[in-house]
Amino acid sequence: MSRPAAVIFDLDGVLVDSEVVWNDARRELVLDSGGRWRDDAQRAMMGMSSVEWSSYMAHELAVPLSPREISESVVQRLERLYRERVPLLTGARESVASLASRWPLAIASSANRPVIDLVLKLTCLSRYFKAAVSSEEVARGKPAPDVYLQAARRLSIDSRACAAVEDSGNGLRAAAAAQMMVIAIPNKAFPPERSALALADVVLPSIAALDPGVVAALGRPSKRPE
């Protein structure tokens, strides 16, 4: 049996209760600029890289700005809100600290790099993570596996020996596509589809339930010859 050698966390919705914050920031920009907001927009953008979701907002939501301007504007709004208060989920700090005592940890997030760095700095969680990757640093955002594969590379660990912690449908698909062991903590505001949730090896009610025992219990028959 192959056991986890590392744990890779998504950020938004897993450690930070931020999906609603992202939704509000994007919706505010669309309405302020005269675009057309759609009720399914946030779910559609979950997991996309900054290049992908800013292009989506320009073309699908009719925001009259360039994708780069859209991305920068949304990030500025998020940074302002985070400097006031980072909505760290209950139990997130304790879970990260306990897992970091046994495994190397990384972040694989769809958030822009400045947002990831700011959140880790303001929450003082940066000391627990050996690597952090933004989807804007790889070719494709979630549900493609690129950001998870890159995080595993930065840890110098085979992706198949990594456990991924995710909350969204696109995130679960990305982790599964990277052949990782998948821990699902379904997002309450934007729950993943059943087909995506079925990809998880274990489903937890909250980040507070994620402890070393959950990770240690993961494993699968090795596909490599003995």
Q: Where are the domains of the chain?
A: 6-17+87-216, 19-84
The rounded distance, in Å, linking the Cα atoms of 114 and 97 is 23
pLDDT beyond 70 at 222: no
Higher pLDDT, 222 or 87: 87
Report the pLDDT value the prediction gives residue 3, as an integer from 0 to 100.
86
With vertex at residue 66, the alpha carbon angle to CA 60 and CA 72, rounded to the nearest 5 degrees, is 105
**Radius of gyration for the alpha carbons in the chain, expressed in angstroms and rounded:** 17
Q: Which CATH architecture has domain 6-17+87-216?
A: 3-Layer(aba) Sandwich (3.40)
Higher pLDDT, 125 or 19: 125
CB atoms within 10 A of CB 225: 4
pLDDT beyond 80 at 114: yes
Average pLDDT, the chain: 92
Report the pLDDT value the prediction gives residue 224, as an integer from 0 to 100.
34
Mean of the pLDDT values across residues 108-134?
A: 96
The hierarchical CATH code for the domain 19-84 is 1.10.150.240
Report the pLDDT value the prediction gives residue 118, as an integer from 0 to 100.
95
